[in-house]
Amino acid sequence: MNPVSTIKAIPGHVSRTSVIARHAFTQLVRMKVFYFLAFFAVILIASNFFNLPQHEGPESAGVNILRSIKSWSLGAMTLFSVVLSIVATALLLPKDVEDRTLYTILAKPVPRLDYLAGKLLGVLLLVFVSLALMDILMVGILQLRTNMVLTDQMAMAEARGWPAADIALLKAEILAQGPTASLQGAVFSVFLRSSIIASMALLISTFSSSTLFTTIISFLIYFIGHFQADARAAYLSGEAGTSDGILARGVTLLVSLVLPDFQLFNVIDSVIEGQVMPLFIVGKLTLIGLFYAIFYILASWFIFAEKEF
Amino acid sequence: MFLPRMTEIPPAVEISHLIKDFKTSFKRQPLRAVDDVSIRIMPGEVYGLIGPNGSGKSTTMKALLGLVAPTAGKCAIFGKDSMKVDSRNEVGFLPENPYFYKHLSGEETLKFYGKLCGIKGAKLRDRVKQLLELVDLSGASHRRIGGYSKGMLQRIGLAQALIQEPKLVILDEPTAGVDPVGSREIRDLIFKLREQGITVFLCSHLLEQVQEVCDHVGIIFKGKMIREGKLDDLIAIEDQTELILKDASPELVAEIAALVGKHAGAELISTGKPRTTLERLFLRETLKQESNN
Amino acid sequence: MTQGKKYGVLVLAILAAGGLRLPFERSLTNDLQAANLLPRKLEMRTGEKIGQTFSAVSLGGLRTLIATLLNLRAFSFFSEQKWVDVEDTFDVIVDLAPRTRYYWDTGSWHQAYNAASYYLYESEIPPLRRKLAWRESILKGQAFLERGIRNNPDDPKLYEGLGVLLSDSNKIAAFSSPNEAYEKSYEAFMAAVETGNARGYAKRAALYSLARVPGREMDALALANEIRKENPRLPPTVLGLLYTLNYHEDPAQDVLTLADSIFPNRKIAYEILGNQWMRTRDYFPVDGIARVMPLLEKELGVSEEDSVLKVKLLSPMNPDEGR
C-alpha cells in the first residue's frame, strides 16, 4: 500500500528530463557562457563593416565579403559549438558529484537515465539557442550586404551594357552567396555535429576520472574522427589488396567502427563556398546525428546506472 | 525476509543484513564499510544512528537511498526496494555538508527539487513559500545560494528534503559545522517533523543532540551495529533499580537505606537522581567492543 | 555485473553500433561526393602535401575562415612582392577552400600576371634570367588554373580565365608553341560555353582563339557563322575575322563583294580591317586584307603614303618591345 500524499504527482520521464535540461541550461547561462556570444557578435559585425584588403576585379567586388561573413559566422559557430559541447558536458557531471548535488537529485524519484538525458539536453539546448541567435545575426547581416552587393553589381553590369542573360547569371551567382536554404542546412549540421560530440563526451565522462581527461579524449576523438572516412575507405578498398598487413587492416577497421565520421560535416565548408545542400542530405545527417546521440545516451546510462557515489 | 505482511503497515525503513564492501586498490582486501547491519524504523519514529566518523553511517544511508548498491542484504523504504526509483517517492534526504547549485537562489532551488518530484504551478509556489517560512529563510529566498552561510545551507537542505511532503526524512549529520544557535533551530525543526508524524532517520556523532530528539537509537562502530533499541531502554542501567519517590522525607530515605543494608548483595548507590547520559553509554559500549576485538 | 564485464559489454556494443552505421555513413559520403559537397578522394590526393590535407580535413567548419585569413596574408605578401610566399599561401588556401573560384582565379593571376611582370621589369635578377623567370611564372599560373578547373569542372569562369591567359598577346611568347596555346585557349572557352553558365562573350573568345590556329580556319569559319546566326549585332573583331576566314576559304573571290556582304559599309570595313592588319602582336589572320585595303583606301580617298599597309608593324614575338 502506498499512500499518496496530496501535492505530488509522479512526473513522466519527459517532464522530469525537461526540468533537469532547463536547469542545466540555466546553470550554463549563469556561468556566463553567453559572453562568448557577445564576443562573436562583435567580430561578425566588425567583419561586415571593414572591407578587408584583397584583390577584387569590378566583377567580383563584394561577393568575397559575403563569403567572408559566412566563413566568420560558421567558423565561430563551429568553435563555439564544439568547445561548448565538450567542455560543458565534461564539466556538468563531475561537478554534481563533487558538489554532492547529485545526492540530492538522485535521492528524489529521478531515474538516472532522466538525469543523464536532462544534462545532455541542457547542453544541447544552450548550443541550439546560441546557434539560433548567431544564425539570426548572420542572416541579417548577410541579407543587408547581399542587397548592397547586388545593387552595385547590377549598376556595374548595366553601365557596361551587359546582355540580359549575362546579368541574370551574375545575379544568380551573387544570390547563391547570400542567405540560402543550404546555409541553414549548414547551421543545422553544426548543431547535429555538436549533439554527436556532446553525447560522446557524456559517455566518456561517465567512466572518466576527471573533467580534464574527458575534455582531452573528446577533442582527440573529434579530430581523429575526421579521418574515420579515410580509414573506412582504406579498409573497404583493401579487400583485394594483399599488401596491406593484417595489423593495418585491423587498425583501419577498428577506427572505422569506433570513431564517429566527422568528415561528413565538412559539408559545412562546401556550403560556405556556395554549394547547394539538398534536403535529403540534411535528412540523412539528422538520422546519423540521432543514431549517435541515442546510442551514446543509452551507453552512458548503462555505465552510470549502477555507479556509486 | 522482510516482505511486508498484508496485515501489517510496512516499516518506514527496513535495512536487513546490509553488507557493503568498497574496493580499495588493486588486489587488496576490500574495505568492509558496513557489516551486517539491520535497522527497522516504524512510521512516526525518530531514529538516531550514532557512531564515530567513518563508522559506516553515511554508507548505510546511501545504501538506503540507492546511491550505493549493497554487496549483500537489502534495503527498503515503506516496503519498496531501495534500488528502485519509486522507493524515493516518500523520502527526503539531507546529505552531510550539502552544497546546492550556487547559481540558483534559495527559492529557485526549492522549485527545482519540487519540479523533480512532479509538483507544479500554484501548489509548488505555496509549498515553497511554506517551507521557506518553516526554515526561516523567507528573507533570503532571492539570494543566490553561493552567498549562504553554513547554517542557511543546512536549512535550505532540510527544506529541499521536505519539498514533496515525504513521510520519511533522512538527515546525515544535520548539525555538522553549524553554530549552537543554528543547531538548536535544526533540532526544533526535527521536533516539528515528529509532531507531524514524519519518520526521521538521522545520523550524527553529536550524542547530546541525538539523545534530545530521538526515541530510537542505534550505535554503529566499525561498520557493525553494536547496540540498538529504544532510547529509554538503552540508557537504563540493568543491574540497578530506580525508585522514584515523591515528597519523601529524609527519614523515609534513611529508613529505606537501612532496609537495603539488611539485604546481602544489595547496595544503595546513591539517593540522587540516577541517570546516565547517552554519551556515557556510547563510551561504555564502544570500549567494550574494543576490548572484545 | 562486474565493472570489467560491463566495460566488455560496452566495447562490444560500440563495435556493433559501428558495424550498423558503417554502410550508412559510407553511402552518405558517396551522396555528398556526388553533390560536390565533399571532395573526392582521388582529387584530394593528387600531388597535395599530406600535411595540408590533414589540416584541411580536420578543420571542419573552420576551413573557409582560415582560408579567408590566409588570403589576407597573401595580400600582404603580394604588397611586399614576395612571390614565392604568395604561391605557397595560395597552395594552402585552395586546399582549404577548393571550391571557391576566387582563390584559384587570384592565385593564378598573381603568378601569371603580377609575378611575371615583376620578374620582367622590376626585379634585380640578371636580364638573361628575367625572361626565364617570367616564363616560369606564367606557366605556374596556367598550371594553378588548370588545377582549379579539375576541382571545379562546372565553373565557366575558370575556363574563361584559362582561355584568356592562353590567348593573351603579352603572354603568348611564354608558351612553347603559340599555336598550341591558341588551340588550348579555344578549347577552354568552349568548355566554358558547355557548362551552360558562361557569359555571352565566351563563344566569341573561342572564335578569336581558334581563328589564330593555322589549319583550323574552316572550323573557325563555321564557328563564326554560328555566332553570326545567333547574334545579328556583331563586334568588330568578329566581322574582321569573318572577312579573313571567308577569304581564306576562297582566295579567288571578289574581295569588295565579300567585304560588302559582311560590313555595314566600306568605311567601317576599312577601319576594322585596318585595325586587324596592325594588330600583329595578336596573331590575328590577315588573309585578304592586303588585297582589299588599297581598293577601300582608294574609294575613301586615303592617300597611298597614309596607307595602313605602310605602317611599321610591331614584331609579335618580343614582349619587351613597344614599352
Element housing B33 (H / E): strand B31-41
In this structure, which amino acid lies at residue B260?
V
Q: B27: left (phi > 0), else alpha (psi -120 to 50), else beta?
A: left
Q: What is the pLDDT of residues C104-113, one digit of tens each?
A: 999 999 999 9
- The model's confidence at residue C322, banded by pLDDT at 50, 70 and 90, is very low
In this structure, which amino acid lies at residue A86?
I
**What CA–CA distance (Å, rounded) separates B64 from A305?**
16
Q: What is the pLDDT of residues C17-27, one digit of tens each?
A: 988 998 898 89
User: Residue A286: is it exposed, middle or buried by C-beta count within 10 angstroms (0-12/13-18/19+)?
Assistant: middle
Residues 6 or more apart whose CB falls under 8 angstroms from that of A271 comprise A182, A183, A185, A186, A277, C37
Three cell numbers written together for A60 = 567580383
Q: What is the pLDDT of residues B209-263, one digit of tens each?
A: 788 888 899 988 888 888 888 887 777 666 667 677 777 788 888 888 888 888 8
Q: Do A285 and A192 form a contact (C-beta atoms < 8 A)?
A: yes
> Dihedrals φ, ψ of B144, to 5°?
-65, 145
Query: What is the spatial order of strands in the sheet that B13-22 belongs to?
Result: B31-41, B13-22, B72-77, B80-81
Q: Same domain for C143 and C127? A: yes
Q: Do A115 and A109 form a contact (C-beta atoms < 8 A)?
A: no
Q: What end-to-end distance do the CA atoms of chain A give, in Å? A: 30
Parent domain of C293: 234-323
In this prediction, the answer to ipTM > 0.90 reads no
Q: Do A268 and A78 form a contact (C-beta atoms < 8 A)?
A: yes
> How far is residue C251 CA from its own chain's centroid?
33
Question: C131, C153, C175: which is the final residue of a domain?
Answer: C153
**What CA–CA distance (Å, rounded) separates A106 from A98?**
14
Q: What percentage of chain B has pLDDT greater than the value 70?
A: 89
pLDDT above 70 for C303 = yes
| A59 vs B: CB within 8 A | no
B157 contacts in chain A (CB < 8 Å): 104
In this structure, which amino acid lies at residue C25?
E
Q: What is the pLDDT of residues C137-189, one digit of tens each?
A: 999 999 999 999 988 888 899 999 999 999 888 888 888 888 899 999 999 99
Structural domain contains residue C67: yes
Residue position matching grid coordinates 553601365 = A159
Question: CB B205: neighbour CB atoms within 10 A?
Answer: 17
> Dihedrals φ, ψ of B121, to 5°?
55, -135
- The model's confidence at residue A12, banded by pLDDT at 50, 70 and 90, is confident
pLDDT above 90 for C312 = no
Nearest to A79 by CA among A37, A138, A121: A37
> Dihedrals φ, ψ of B77, to 5°?
-120, 120
The mean pLDDT of A272-296, rounded to a whole number, is 92
Three cell numbers written together for A246 = 593484417
**Chains meeting A at 3+ CB pairs closer than 8 A?**
B, C
The answer to whether the CB atoms of B85 and A5 lie below 8 A apart is: no
Largest CA distance in chain A: 89
- The model's confidence at residue A275, banded by pLDDT at 50, 70 and 90, is confident
| A95 vs B: CB within 8 A | no
Q: Do B178 and B151 form a contact (C-beta atoms < 8 A)?
A: yes
* Min distance B230 CA to chain A CA atoms (Å): 27
Q: What is the pLDDT of residues C208-265, one digit of tens each?
A: 999 888 888 889 889 989 988 888 788 888 888 889 998 988 888 888 888 888 888 8
* Min distance C296 CA to chain A CA atoms (Å): 32
Can you give the pLDDT at residue B273? 57
| C45 vs A: CB within 8 A | no
Structural domain contains residue C91: yes
Structural domain contains residue C79: yes
pLDDT above 50 for B288 = yes
**What CA–CA distance (Å, rounded) separates A67 from C41?**
25
Those of residues 30-49 in A touching chain B at CB distance below 8 A are 30-31
Question: CB A301: neighbour CB atoms within 10 A?
Answer: 19
A105 contacts in chain B (CB < 8 Å): 113, 116
B90 contacts in chain A (CB < 8 Å): 2, 5
Nearest to A79 by CA among C63, C32, C71: C63
Residues 6 or more apart whose CB falls under 8 angstroms from that of A129 comprise A25
Q: Do B253 and B271 form a contact (C-beta atoms < 8 A)?
A: yes
| C41 vs A: CB within 8 A | yes
* Min distance B65 CA to chain A CA atoms (Å): 6
Structural domain contains residue C204: yes
pLDDT above 80 for B269 = no
Q: Which residues pair with B199 in a beta bridge?
A: B168
The answer to whether the CB atoms of A99 and B119 lie below 8 A apart is: no
| A209 vs C: CB within 8 A | no
Q: What end-to-end distance do the CA atoms of chain C give, in Å? A: 88
Q: Same domain for C128 and C163? A: no
Can you give the pLDDT at residue A8? 58
Residue position matching grid coordinates 543547531 = B183
Domain regions of chain A by residue span: 13-304
| C31 vs A: CB within 8 A | yes
| A305 vs B: CB within 8 A | no
The mean pLDDT of B197-202, rounded to a whole number, is 92
* Min distance A268 CA to chain B CA atoms (Å): 36
**What CA–CA distance (Å, rounded) separates C247 from C245?**
5
Question: C112, C134, C153: which is the final residue of a domain?
Answer: C153
pLDDT above 80 for A84 = yes
Pairing of strands B216-221, B224-230: antiparallel
Q: Same domain for C273 and C287? A: yes
Those of residues 243-302 in C touching chain A at CB distance below 8 A are none
- How many domains does one find in chain C? 3
The answer to whether the CB atoms of A270 and C9 lie below 8 A apart is: no
Nearest to C173 by CA among C120, C123, C111, C210: C120
pTM of the model: 0.82
Structural domain contains residue C144: yes
Can you give the pLDDT at residue C323? 33
Can you give the pLDDT at residue B26? 62
Structural domain contains residue C323: yes
Q: Same domain for C250 and C188? A: no
Between B284 and C31, the more confident residue is C31
Residues 6 or more apart whose CB falls under 8 angstroms from that of A256 comprise A228, A231, A232, A235, C18, C22
Q: What is the pLDDT of residues A97-130, one digit of tens each?
A: 888 888 889 888 889 999 999 999 999 999 999 8
Range list of β-strands (E), chain C? none
Q: Do A264 and C29 form a contact (C-beta atoms < 8 A)?
A: yes
**What CA–CA distance (Å, rounded) separates A227 from A240?**
22
**Chains meeting B at 3+ CB pairs closer than 8 A?**
A
* Min distance B179 CA to chain A CA atoms (Å): 22
Three cell numbers written together for B137 = 529563510
| A163 vs C: CB within 8 A | yes
Q: B35: left (phi > 0), else alpha (psi -120 to 50), else beta?
A: beta
Helix (H, G, I), strand (E, B) or coil at B219: strand
The per-residue pLDDT of chain A, averaged, comes to 84
Three cell numbers written together for C113 = 600576371
pLDDT above 50 for C45 = no
Between A221 and A53, the more confident residue is A221
Report DSSP state, residue A278: -
* Min distance A116 CA to chain B CA atoms (Å): 14
Question: C163, C181, C214: which is the final residue of a domain?
Answer: C214
Can you give the pLDDT at residue C320? 47
Structural domain contains residue C12: no
A16 contacts in chain B (CB < 8 Å): 115-116, 118
The answer to whether the CB atoms of B120 and A9 lie below 8 A apart is: yes
| A50 vs C: CB within 8 A | no
Three cell numbers written together for C32 = 555528398
Pairing of strands B199-204, B168-172: parallel
Three cell numbers written together for B170 = 533522512
pLDDT above 70 for C89 = yes
Structural domain contains residue C244: yes
Residue position matching grid coordinates 515528597 = B247
Q: What percentage of chain C has pLDDT greater than the value 70?
A: 91
Query: How would DSSP label each residue in C179-244?
Result: HHHHHHHHHHHHHHHHTS---THHHHHHHHHHTTSTT-HHHHHHHHHHHHHH-SS--HHHHHHHHH
Residues 6 or more apart whose CB falls under 8 angstroms from that of C208 comprise C167, C237, C241, C284
